[in-house]
Structure 1
Amino acid sequence: MSPRKSTRKAEADVPAETGAPVVSAPLFTASLPVRWRDLDAFNHVNNSNYLTYLEEARLQWLSHVPGPWFDDHAMPVMAAVQLNYRRPIEWPAQLRVELYCERLGNSSMTIGHRILDAEHADRLYGDGHVVMVWMDPASGKPVALPEAIREAAGGHP
């Protein structure tokens, strides 16, 4: 098996006020509204909706990837998620979800993310990453990362 390399990595500098990493230019930025139904009994966005925002941002990015990124023999599944809740999101709000390519593997991609307020760029609501693995749905086994994803992510391992 060949070694895996990163294409772009979030920088290690960490602002003291948030504990969040400073990152390079995003791979993709999605604009999403906070909906009234996203709120919980404490009148802020329920923690599970942060994952929904990240899913929507990934789907928006994938819809812009030129070339095939899935077919009957290669589909992405989420293998892991890490999410830091930095502050509550209140309604009304417009969000900016930034995605970053942290790592490309043989069959996987690690996508870093930041959820920010669209009007106040210094207001970080959450950050972390997800690992997406491309697999054959019939066998359940990993398959090679599609070339369209490698190109859209900006490089090869």
Structure 2
Amino acid sequence: MSKSVKEILSAYPVVIEMPVSWGDMDAFGHVNNKRYFGYFEDARIAYFAQAKVAEVSGMASGIGPVLASTSCRFRAPLKFPDYLGVGARVVDIEEDRFTVEHAVASQNLGIIAALGEARVVSFDFTKNASVPVPQEWLRAIKALEG
């Protein structure tokens, strides 16, 4: 019996699940490369929600997370129909930014089909500048990561 996407992504504290939509496919018969960045974003936002990053940051104060860069390494093509798990975890924290690692697992293939990385900056929108990662974020991330 094959592993579930949650089992494949057991190292990720936040995993969202979804089917591959027909509209995710491209003319070459597999999921279009740009769609993976949408999967990553959905998992990253779910991570922020679970860690309450936007809530604990005091968005009223104007500080929030901003995506600085993102990348993807494609390991296997995904096709419709399939069921995916998309994981997110924080793997590195610096003074004013942190790195979120993403993974997309395929139920059909039973493997991680793509790995990604996102650099997220703690940003003060009132000053239009990066600021140190708030202590509340650090505590929330640490609690979520265990």
TM-score calculated relative to the size of structure 2: 0.79
Matching residue of 1:87: 76
CA distance in 2, matches of 1:152, 1:136: 19
Q: Identify the residue that residue 87 of structure 2 maps to in structure 1.
A: 98
Query: Aligned Cα RMSD in Å?
Result: 2.1
User: Match for 1:131: what amino acid?
Assistant: R
Tell whether the 8 Å contact from 2:99 to 2:120 is kept in structure 1 after alignment.
yes
1:1-157 to 2 correspondences below 5 Å: 25-66=11-52, 67-69=55-57, 71-72=59-60, 73-118=62-107, 120-121=109-110, 123-154=111-142
Q: Deviations over 1:61-118 (max 9, x none)?
A: 2122245245142121111112101111100111111112111112211011111113
* Counterpart residue identity of residue 112, structure 1: E
The answer as to whether partners of 1:134 and 1:145 remain within 8 angstroms in 2 is yes
Shift of 1:129: 1.1
Quote the Cα distance in structure 2 between the aligned partners of 1:27 and 1:70. 23
DSSP 3-state at the match of 2:56: coil
Q: Secondary structure at the match of 2:47?
A: helix
CA distance in 2, matches of 1:26, 1:94: 17
Secondary structure at the counterpart of residue 130 of structure 2: coil
Specify every segment of 5 or more residues in structure 1 that has no aligned partner in the other structure, as ranges: 1-22
Distance 1:141 1:125, change over 3 A: same
| More strand as a share of residues | 2
Paired residues, number: 132
Aligned mates of 1:139, 1:48 — CA distance in 2: 32
Amino acid at match of 2:124: D
Alpha-carbon distance in 2 for matches of 1:43, 1:70: 44
Distance 2:141 2:108 in 1: 27
Taking only the aligned residue pairs, the percentage that are identical comes to: 26
Q: Which runs of 4+ in 1 moved over 6 A?
A: none
Q: How far apart in 1 are the matches of 2:105 and 2:126?
A: 38
**Contact residue 51 and residue 141 of structure 2 kept, 8 A:** no
